[in-house]
């Protein structure tokens, strides 16, 4: 594909046949008015649209908090901790980029204040600044810019999307805004660096009028910092009225076509087409002087078509219970929810989720709470709250032959349940929850005991898993002998008990490369008993759903249809 810049030079998208590449281009997405507007989805959608034009896109998420990464953050506050291939524990927005852009990012793609300051202080201690006074400008801002540029260069992408978390005006965002302002200048400005500002257009109660003042104020704030937005994405309940669009254009000094309406959507996967319909991709390409004609995104469009069908007129529907610990904040299970969307689209089955709090299972038992479900997911987690209830839930699914997917802690509890109720090992447990149990069937491996403040090192990131021949895992993974999935855990199946457990019927069909760690447990006499030590939800993509979630959805649909007969 040939793409041209304004001065006639050829701009080469990564997959093009030309060998000339002018410069890397940046799209910076900021947010105004309030947080939680869906900046990440806006940015991911823009990326998806540009990818649809044959450009290669990568993404950087900036989180202005002081934590170095999301590893120590509670899911109650920030939603799930998302894990990358390299073991980076990052903000869940990175998950949206990976899903929308079908990329595998590394932890360098998540920049936090903590990370930047740590690096600068290390350099200062090392004497790298040669006796100079170390200051926010230029040292912190340089570090931020270098990070962004390096990530872009290493990825070789045509476009680097940079999402600046938080809201314009926050004290902690200031150094980042200053850094991207400088980046604009250094990248050659205009056609090489575009600013997209996401704001809220609220509707005032009685009259139902769309109000532009918050947008005006946040744009003013941005301008005061020296950033002039090129595009304004207006979030709100409804589509922007024509006059309101015109007013925003006038007061914020952008052309009408640069004001884009992003009303609440039924599914995040509809956002790219909502933006595309308003001509946003063409506007951005024109502004950045890139010529990149449309071509069809067949797989993506098919995925979206099925998502819409599942919402409006589903061929089939299943109800899957998620028995977790953080069910009040659904973001804690964001990747599972998305994985079910992907799997549901592929299987053409609508997935309805029934949220079950592990502690309620402790008190009320599984029978009442799980009655009528077609499948069960026990997700990952830390700490013992609700674990007994989850063990009850596994028992229920095992005995009633309801399709079950156990993930990480869910895998460990499936093993515990089996040992207690089938092996009859009374009080069998994970040593995470009972350090005195006679049967520590889940335990810390001796080689892991380097004792950090967490008690042992966390096993993180993508690791290979060898699958035995002829097992359910091989079937659902398309016959592959080795797969790669992401991990985040400390405890393992205790090698002392493996032989006895396997003899009695719970097979470990997937193991780590060295054979020491058990990765998958299956029960032959069950329609779908799939317990996995890894987190398949993190690699699920719209066009390539998690195999284990897809397996669960398909098995649940079959279970439901048999139940009816």
Residues with catalytic annotation? 408, 535, 537
Distance CA 342, CA 348 (A): 10
User: Minimal distance in Å, beta carbon 215 to ligand GLN?
Assistant: 40
In the list 491, 508, 528, 534, the residue contacting ligand GLN (rule: CB under 6 A) is 491
29 φ, ψ to 5°? Answer: -110, 120
Tokens 């109800």 found at: 319
- Residues recorded for the chain: 565
Tell me the window of 62-70, 264-272, 433-441, 485-493 that interacts with ligand GLN (CB under 6 A).
Answer: 485-493
Distance CA 475, CA 492 (A): 24
In the list 463, 490, 511, 547, the residue contacting ligand GLN (rule: CB under 6 A) is 490
Angle between helices 280-287 and 39-51 (to 10 degrees): 70
User: Minimal distance in Å, beta carbon 555 to ligand GLN?
Assistant: 22
Q: What is the CA radius of gyration of the chain?
A: 25
Tell me the window of 164-172, 415-423, 467-475, 484-492 that interacts with ligand GLN (CB under 6 A).
Answer: 484-492
**263 versus 455: smaller Cβ distance to ligand GLN:** 455
**259 versus 408: smaller Cβ distance to ligand GLN:** 408
Contact present, 44 and 198 (Cβ < 8 Å) = no
Q: Per-residue string for binding with ligand GLN, 387-416, x by CB under 6 A? A: ---------------------xx-------
Q: Is 420 in the site for ligand GLN (CB under 6 A)?
A: no
- Collapse the DSSP code of 222 into the 3-class scheme (helix H, G, I; strand E, B; otherwise coil) and give the result: helix
**47 versus 379: smaller Cβ distance to ligand GLN:** 379
Contact present, 95 and 110 (Cβ < 8 Å) = no
User: Minimal distance in Å, beta carbon 458 to ligand GLN?
Assistant: 7
Distance of CA 91 to the CA centre of its chain: 8
**33 versus 414: smaller Cβ distance to ligand GLN:** 414
Contact present, 292 and 57 (Cβ < 8 Å) = no
In the list 39, 398, 488, 539, the residue contacting ligand GLN (rule: CB under 6 A) is 488
Residues 6+ apart with CB under 8 A from 82: 70, 89, 90, 91, 92, 94, 95, 334, 335, 538
Distance CA 246, CA 138 (A): 39
Distance CA 327, CA 554 (A): 24
Considering only CA atoms, which of 284, 306, 276 is closest in space to residue 158? 284
Residue 255 has, within 13 A of its CA and on its CB side, a CA count of 8
SS3 letters across 139-181 = HHHHHHHHHHHHHHHHHCCCEEEEEECCCCCCHHHHHHHHHHH
Helices (H), 464-546: 472-476, 495-503
**302 versus 457: smaller Cβ distance to ligand GLN:** 457
Tell me the window of 44-52, 129-137, 487-495, 511-519 that interacts with ligand GLN (CB under 6 A).
Answer: 487-495
Residue 137: C-alpha distances to residues 143, 169, 232 (Å): 10, 18, 28
Lookup: tokens for 440: 């520590």
Position with the least CB separation from ligand GLN = 380
Q: How are strands ordered across the β-sheet holding 429-430? A: 429-430, 440-443, 492-493
User: Minimal distance in Å, beta carbon 171 to ligand GLN?
Assistant: 34
Residue 318: C-alpha distances to residues 210, 379, 418 (Å): 39, 18, 26
* Total of chain residues touching ligand GLN, rule CB under 6 A: 10
User: Minimal distance in Å, beta carbon 379 to ligand GLN?
Assistant: 7
Tell me the window of 29-37, 353-361, 483-491, 521-529 that interacts with ligand GLN (CB under 6 A).
Answer: 483-491
**32 versus 381: smaller Cβ distance to ligand GLN:** 381
Q: Per-residue string for binding with ligand GLN, 373-392, x by CB under 6 A? A: -------xxx----------
Tokens 């299970």 found at: 333
Q: Is 117 in the site for ligand GLN (CB under 6 A)?
A: no
Positions in 189-208 near ligand GLN (CB under 6 A): none
Residue 233: C-alpha distances to residues 30, 173, 270 (Å): 10, 20, 15
**129 versus 382: smaller Cβ distance to ligand GLN:** 382
Considering only CA atoms, which of 351, 404, 411 is closest in space to residue 387? 411
User: Minimal distance in Å, beta carbon 331 to ligand GLN?
Assistant: 16
In the list 80, 191, 432, 485, the residue contacting ligand GLN (rule: CB under 6 A) is 432
**489 versus 539: smaller Cβ distance to ligand GLN:** 489
Q: Is 461 in the site for ligand GLN (CB under 6 A)?
A: no
Positions in 294-353 near ligand GLN (CB under 6 A): none
Tell me the window of 86-94, 118-126, 433-441, 486-494 that interacts with ligand GLN (CB under 6 A).
Answer: 486-494
In the list 197, 486, 489, 526, the residue contacting ligand GLN (rule: CB under 6 A) is 489
**12 versus 459: smaller Cβ distance to ligand GLN:** 459
**350 versus 488: smaller Cβ distance to ligand GLN:** 488
Looking at residue 182, the DSSP 8-state letter turns out to be H
User: Minimal distance in Å, beta carbon 470 to ligand GLN?
Assistant: 28
User: Minimal distance in Å, beta carbon 77 to ligand GLN?
Assistant: 17
Lookup: tokens for 461: 């990131």
The residue ranges that bind ligand GLN (CB under 6 A) are 380-382, 408-409, 432, 488-491
């Amino acid at each position: 594909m040939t793409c041209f810049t304004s001065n006639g030079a050829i701009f080469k998208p990564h997959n093009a046949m030309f060998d000339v590449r002018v410069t890397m281009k940046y799209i910076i997405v900021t947010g105004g008015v309030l947080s939680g507007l869906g900046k990440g989805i806006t940015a991911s959608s823009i990326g998806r649209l540009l990818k649809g034009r044959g450009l290669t896109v990568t993404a950087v998420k900036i989180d202005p908090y002081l934590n170095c990464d999301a590893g120590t953050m509670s899911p109650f506050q920030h939603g799930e901790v998302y894990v990358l291939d390299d073991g980076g524990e990052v903000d869940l927005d990175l998950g949206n980029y990976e899903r929308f852009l079908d990329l595998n990012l590394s932890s360098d793609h998540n920049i936090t204040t903590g990370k930047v300051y740590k690096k600068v202080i290390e350099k200062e201690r090392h004497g790298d600044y040669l006796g100079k006074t170390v200051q926010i400008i230029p040292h912190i801002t340089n570090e931020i810019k270098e990070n962004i540029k390096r990530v872009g260069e290493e990825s070789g992408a045509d476009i680097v999307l940079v999402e600046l978390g938080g809201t314009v005006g926050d004290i902690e965002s200031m150094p980042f805004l200053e850094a991207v302002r400088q980046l604009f200048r250094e990248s050659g400005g205009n056609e090489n660096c575009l600013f997209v500002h996401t704001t809220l257009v609220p509707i005032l109660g009685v009259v139902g009028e769309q109000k532009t003042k918050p947008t005006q104020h946040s744009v003013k704030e941005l301008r005061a910092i020296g950033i002039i937005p090129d595009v304004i994405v207006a979030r709100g309940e409804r589509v922007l009225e024509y006059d309101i669009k015109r007013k925003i254009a006038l007061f914020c000094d952008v052309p009408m076509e640069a004001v884009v309406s992003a009303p609440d959507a039924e599914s995040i996967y509809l956002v790219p087409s909502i933006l595309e319909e308003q001509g946003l991709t063409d506007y951005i390409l024109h502004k950045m002087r890139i010529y990149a004609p449309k071509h069809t995104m067949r797989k993506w469009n098919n995925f979206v078509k099925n998502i819409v069908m599942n919402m409006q007129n589903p061929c089939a529907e299943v109800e899957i219970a998620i028995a977790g610990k953080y069910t009040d904040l659904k973001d804690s299970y964001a990747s599972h929810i998305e994985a079910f969307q992907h799997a549901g689209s592929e299987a053409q089955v609508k997935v309805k989720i029934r949220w079950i709090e592990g502690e309620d299972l402790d008190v009320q038992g599984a029978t009442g709470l799980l009655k009528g479900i077609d499948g069960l997911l026990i997700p990952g987690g830390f700490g013992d709250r609700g674990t007994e209830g989850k063990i009850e839930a596994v028992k229920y699914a095992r005995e009633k032959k309801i399709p079950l997917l156990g993930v990480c802690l869910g895998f460990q509890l499936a093993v515990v349940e089996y040992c207690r109720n089938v092996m009859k090992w009374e009080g069998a447990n994970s040593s995470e929850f009972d350090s005195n149990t006679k049967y520590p069937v889940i335990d810390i491996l001796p080689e892991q005991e380097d004792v950090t403040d967490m008690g042992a090192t966390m096993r993180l990131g993508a690791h290979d898993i060898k699958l035995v021949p002829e097992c359910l895992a091989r079937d659902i993974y398309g016959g592959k002998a080795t797969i790669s999935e992401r991990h985040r855990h400390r405890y393992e199946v205790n090698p002392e008990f493996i032989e006895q457990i396997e003899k009695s019927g719970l097979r470990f069909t997937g193991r780590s490369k060295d054979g020491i760690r058990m990765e998958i447990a299956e029960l032959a006499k069950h329609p779908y008993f799939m317990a996995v030590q890894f987190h398949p939800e993190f690699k699920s993509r719209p066009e390539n759903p998690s195999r284990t979630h897809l397996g669960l959805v398909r098995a649940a649909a079959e279970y439901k249809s048999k139940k009816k007969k």
